[in-house]
Structure 1
């Protein structure tokens, strides 16, 4: 199974979701490929935000080797599930979909809410990590 996590800059939320879900899938022996991308291209090639790296490391997840990439339409063919962090990311990704099948692959990461962007508020990294970790546990059960 191939899953793509998407946020705005691909340096805070989606790298955390990418790292946590890959970590959990590996622990369960699942042969899943997890990646992440951003709908904005400002940080392409950069490592995740140092605060994301730190909070992930605190919980035993290493995301330091990830590199930000820009979401492109080709990803609809590569991934089975495309999970986005908020409604703006959802709209931006759907705008690139050409078929109904592609549109069906796109879902909000949290079914009923947005994952807050912690970029401008360092106090949000811990609660955002908790939200992401909880949802990743659910995804393991839903998709395995």
Structure 2
């Protein structure tokens, strides 16, 4: 059975495509790519059909990640097929929980940085869109740091299903 993870930010052109690309690479490195499906979306549809922000693509490619992406808006009907909905900040988490059709679906929503023990109480991945390029680098560092913990949690669930 495939375990499905969807990363969600505002417009699906900066943070969530970055998280999707990084986590997909971690899943492949772990040999779980046949068992885990990774996706992303935005809470809004402003950029639907557009590629990721050029700064996101550049930072990803410079660090060895894929940068190809097409933005789309999160649809509440997806909750049914998703196992985890990973929000990049608390505003996204609140919006997603409001969209959740059931309490069980709302419990699928988690903050990405909650998987990074070093994050402490700072669970926000700041939106780099309106800032300089260093904000995209900082975003990547946060995503990479949290991806290890997220992978461990997903691996535990997947291996529990296949045991």
Residue 33 (1) aligns with residue 37 (2): yes
Residue 127 (1) aligns with residue 138 (2): yes
Larger proportion of helix? 2
Residue 95 (1) aligns with residue 106 (2): no
Query: TM-score by structure 2 length?
Result: 0.85
Q: What is the deviation of 1:99?
A: 1.0
| Aligned structure 1 segments of 4 or more residues deviating by more than 6 angstroms | none
Counterpart for residue 114 of structure 1: 124
Counterpart for residue 138 of structure 1: 149
Pairwise CA RMSD: 0.9
Residue 6 (1) aligns with residue 8 (2): yes
Q: Deviations over 1:45-78 (max 9, x none)?
A: 11100111111111110122x1111011111012
Q: What is the deviation of 1:100?
A: 1.1
Q: What is the deviation of 1:142?
A: 2.0
Query: TM-score by structure 1 length?
Result: 0.96
Counterpart for residue 81 of structure 2: 78
Gaps of 5+ in 2: 115-120, 156-163
Gaps of 5+ in 1: none
CA distance in 2, matches of 1:142, 1:93: 21
The structure that has the greater radius of gyration is: 2
Q: In the comparison of the two structures, how many residue pairs are matched?
A: 143
